[in-house]
Amino acid sequence: MSIAKIKKIKSGEVIVECVNKQDVEKLKTIVDTSQDLKSKEIIKGNPRIILQNIDKNLDKTNLIETICKNNRDLVESCGGMDQFHKQVKEKFRLGGRDKDKCVSVILDVTSEARKEFLKRRIISEWESVYAKDYISLVQCFKCYRFGHKSDKCKESTQICGKCGHTGHDFKNCKSNDTKCIVCARANEKGCKIDHVARDKKCPTMLKIKEKISKSIDYGQ
List pLDDT tens digits, range 170-217: 999 999 999 999 999 998 888 899 999 999 999 999 999 999 998 898
Q: For the chain, what are the domain ranges?
A: 3-32, 48-133, 144-197
Contact 209, 137 (CB under 8 A): yes
pLDDT digits (tens, 9 = 90+) for 67-98: 999 999 999 999 999 999 999 999 999 987 87
Q: Would you put residue 190 in left (φ > 0), alpha (ψ -120 to 50) or beta?
A: left
Q: Work out the mean pLDDT of the chain and round it to a whole number.
A: 91
CA distance 3 to 17: 6
**Sign of torsion over alpha carbons 108, 215, 117, 124:** positive
DSSP E strands: which ranges in the chain?
Answer: 3-8, 14-18, 48-55, 88-95, 102-109, 121-123, 128-133
At 33 the pLDDT is 86
CATH topology for 48-133 is: Alpha-Beta Plaits (3.30.70)
- 136-165 tens-digit pLDDT: 899 999 999 999 999 999 999 999 999 999
Quickly state the pLDDT bin for 11 (edges 50, 70, 90): confident
Distance CA 195, CA 202 (A): 7
The Cα angle at residue 48 between residues 94 and 210, in degrees rounded to 5: 105
- Listed in sequence order, the residues at least 6 apart from 87 whose beta carbon sits closer than 8 Å to its beta carbon are 78, 79, 109, 110, 112, 113
DSSP string, 151-199: GG---SS-B-TTT--BSS-STT---S----HHHHHHT-TT----S-TT-
